[in-house]
Amino acid sequence: MNYTTQMDAARRGVITKEMEAVARKEYMPPEALRELVAAGQVVIPANRNHSSLDPCGIGRGQSTKINVNLGVSQDCCSMETELEKVRRAIELKTDAIMDLSCYGKTESFRRKLIDISPAAVGTVPVYDAVGFYDKDLQDISAAEFLAVVEKHAEDGVDFMTIHAGINRETAARFKKNPRLTNIVSRGGSLLFAWMELNDRENPFFEYFDQLLEICRRYDVTISLGDACRPGSIKDATDAAQIQELIVLGELTQRAWEKDVQVIIEGPGHMSLNEIIPNMLLEKKLCHGAPFYVLGPLVTDVAPGYDHITSAIGGAIAAAHGADFLCYVTPAEHLRLPTLEDMKEGIIASRIAAHAADLAKGIAGARQWDDQMSEARRNLDWEKMFALAVDPEKARRYRAESRPENEDSCTMCGKMCAVRNMNRVLGEAGPV
């Protein structure tokens, strides 16, 4: 049977090879997964032109996924450095990679990324438009914005961030309700500026039906961007953010009518007590569509440590409804991340995602912890290293401080509670 998108197939009762692959990974009956994809509650970003893809499911009942941002910029424009990050991110088990390139040979880098990445690949086409056309933002036409989207789709991009929710009504709401940090979304600020300079509607909102046709043709998942996400604790859950979320919910239904898969993007920065209400709002207003969050960062005062502030917020968000976490590195707000920054961000996000999966009862999550606990009880260091979220660091720490007794560590030595309990209970030699 012919079908256009994963959602179209699911609604026709077809279980695609991508659904079968995801169902195996998630320990889920394929028919149950098909029903969730048909309802829009799970997406499988899988552009038909991405031949190296190992598909993943994002949404209800799936393990929490993480995304890594990278790409070339004007100040850091080494394509090989960014490709090295791609390879390392894949080794560190990221589920998705977003190419945020905004300078230079973006097309060449994007194609190489798609060729080598088994992870889903995302982009933000509006970033590319200014460099692609080599003209001022104000002079780019609506048709040219859409042409960049089609080019990315043709290249094999699996999901695209499209800031269609910041229409003129949302922009007016923002202007009536001043913020401490204004609009911090790069794509959102570009489109806001374009609307102000041209006194016109957001082209992605005005021509949303044409956008959907492109996405349907290539099976691109739309990640509806949160142009009005809060960039500070003070701006969280304000009028502009909620106004945009309402619009995103309406756009979600329009996309589903065309069998186009949808992800909703969310905050941002917010205090701990606001996270759970925001998760409930998104799921309600956006009809259960998968939710993708940047953090949220739970305090604004930790530059250099924002991978930690993000992991705290991400764990809470994912435990209460978020499905997809965008990693944040220690370099957030400071500079383009290095390889080591990227690793720290990935590990922090994976910890947050797994902590949430434990809380949600995701199949297979608790077994990993139980296996680690068994290895610790048995003082089986090699198994502990193998099971660790970061085996390299665990092995290095052990090697840097060797104990007198190999069945202990230098924290407790012969006083090790695990070692002594094993002996007292007859599972090892004398104390």
Residues within the annotated binding site? 69, 98, 127, 163, 185-187, 226-229, 265, 269, 292, 333, 409, 412, 416
Amino acid in position 277: P
Cα separation of 123 and 286, whole Å? 22
Task: Report how far apart, in Å, the C-alpha atoms of 362 and of each of 28, 319, 349, 355 are.
Answer: 10, 10, 17, 10
Nearest to 170 by CA among 201, 143, 194: 201
Cα separation of 239 and 260, whole Å? 28
Binding site, annotated residues for [4Fe-4S] cluster: 409, 412, 416
Cα separation of 405 and 386, whole Å? 21
338: which residues sit within 8 A by CB, 6+ positions away? 331
Binding site, annotated residues for Zn(2+): 269, 333
Binding site, annotated residues for substrate: 69, 98, 127, 163, 185-187, 226-229, 265, 292
Cα separation of 125 and 203, whole Å? 13
Helix axis angle, 106-116 to 125-133, nearest 10°: 140
Cα separation of 167 and 174, whole Å? 11
284: which residues sit within 8 A by CB, 6+ positions away? none
Helix (H) or strand (E) holding 84: helix 79-91
Tokens of 6: 């994963």
Report the length, in residues, of the chain: 431
